[in-house]
Chains A and B, each alone.
Chain A
């Protein structure tokens, strides 16, 4: 009698728990907790992973950057901008999406610098039937820098581990020395930069930069052969965070096989996805492809296939 009941109980537990593909727990520190932005979005014609930066020339409105945010499965997105010093830069909008769509975000029609936070909360398939895994939100930040018409500007983004060194490294065609001013992230630098091997290189840790967990923007101007403005959006993340490694991919002309980290719950390949850390997908080496890997702690990796050079570029 006992044997019958026990075996029945075992089969019942098995059938209740194991019939669906499971979301995998990801024991790593989550992207939000570690200050490692992972949301994917497109702005000013570039695909960004976590951090993005765009110029806005004085004649243009904010909505000209055409912000689109990538969803995963079904879920919701929040885009927030607070009014700090720029008048009109303010929004707090929520959007729901379906089927991993790229959702267009309407922005205020104003000409202003602005900083947006982007929260993407995916709802994994079978999530409601899985009691052990709590999924996390993907954070992202976009900085829009207002410039005067005709300004020469470059901008980039970087994620750096806590206590790492931060360098001011700007490519330049100038030779010799130039006057420069740098502000932001605790840095106040007014002095001379020396160009070496086609770039300016300054150790910012010696100029007041404190490399603790934070988000900030370095702003600079260099008085070289021409006046050049420069912005760098920086996320300093907790050292305990392990960025998701890129996967191993094996492909021929028709098929690609992906082997991702064991913590990966889903692989998205173009418009298909598999709830697994391994999968095969149709592949055409003459066309562009996008691959995304996602864990329940909102760690992610994005790969873009460049058919011209036949290489994957990972973000």
Chain B
């Protein structure tokens, strides 16, 4: 019995490390996916802001000239 415990615990440790590595990989993929989604949203907002701001500025400049 005393001889078997180290093998069993090593196997458990191996399984835990494998599980943790799988969780980390999953988190890295999710973080990258989230980053791309955030960036896409920010870029989309910029497009709307740029158009709206330029139109407003041009109207004001047009009133002045």
Residues of chain A having any CB pair with chain B under 8 Å = 1, 4-5, 8-9, 12-13, 16, 30, 32-33, 35, 78, 80-82, 84-86, 89, 113-119, 121, 127-137, 139, 141, 143, 145-146, 181, 183-185, 214-221, 227, 229, 231, 233
Contact B16 A143 (CB under 8 A): no
A16 to B56 alpha-carbon distance, docked (Å): 56
Contact B60 A119 (CB under 8 A): no
Could you say which residues of chain B place their CB within 8 Å of the CB of A86? Answer: 54
Most buried by A among B27, B43, B45, B57: B57
A32 to B38 alpha-carbon distance, docked (Å): 6
A125 to B43 alpha-carbon distance, docked (Å): 27
A80 to B43 alpha-carbon distance, docked (Å): 7
A105 to chain B, nearest CB (A): 14
Could you say which residues of chain A place their CB within 8 Å of the CB of B28? Answer: 128
B26 to chain A, nearest CB (A): 7
**Selected contact of B45 from candidates A35, A85, A136, CB within 8 Å:** A35
A168 to chain B, nearest CB (A): 13
Contact B57 A219 (CB under 8 A): yes
Residues of chain B having any CB pair with chain A under 8 Å = 1, 5, 8-9, 12-13, 16-17, 20, 23-24, 26-28, 30-31, 34-35, 38-39, 41-43, 45-60, 63-64
Most buried by A among B16, B38, B58: B38
Could you say which residues of chain A place their CB within 8 Å of the CB of B57? Answer: 113, 145-146, 217, 219, 231
A36 to B52 alpha-carbon distance, docked (Å): 18
Contact A9 B12 (CB under 8 A): yes
Contact B58 A85 (CB under 8 A): yes
Q: Which partner residue on chain A sits nearest B44 by CB separation?
A: A117
Q: If A12-B13, A215-B48, A219-B59 touch, does A121 touch B53 (CB 8 Å cutoff)?
A: no
Q: How many A-B residue pairs have CB under 8 A?
A: 146
Most buried by B among A81, A134, A181: A134
A35 to B39 alpha-carbon distance, docked (Å): 13
Additional A-B contact list (7), CB under 8 Å, known A114-B50, A117-B42: A32-B38, A115-B49, A139-B41, A139-B45, A181-B60, A181-B63, A183-B55
A12 to B53 alpha-carbon distance, docked (Å): 57
**Selected contact of A215 from candidates B26, B27, B49, CB within 8 Å:** B49
A162 to B24 alpha-carbon distance, docked (Å): 37
A146 to B57 alpha-carbon distance, docked (Å): 9
Most buried by A among B31, B46, B52: B46
Could you say which residues of chain A place their CB within 8 Å of the CB of B1? Answer: 1
Contact A134 B9 (CB under 8 A): no
Could you say which residues of chain B place their CB within 8 Å of the CB of A132? Answer: 27
A254 to chain B, nearest CB (A): 39
Could you say which residues of chain B place their CB within 8 Å of the CB of A128? Answer: 24, 27-28
A146 to chain B, nearest CB (A): 8
Could you say which residues of chain B place their CB within 8 Å of the CB of A221? Answer: 60, 63-64
- 13 A-B residue pairings within 8 Å (CB atoms): A5-B8, A82-B50, A84-B51, A89-B50, A117-B49, A119-B43, A121-B39, A128-B27, A134-B31, A141-B46, A215-B45, A217-B56, A218-B56
A148 to chain B, nearest CB (A): 8
B55 to chain A, nearest CB (A): 7
Contact B49 A12 (CB under 8 A): no
A233 to B45 alpha-carbon distance, docked (Å): 13
Contact B49 A216 (CB under 8 A): yes
Q: Which partner residue on chain A sits nearest B45 by CB separation?
A: A215
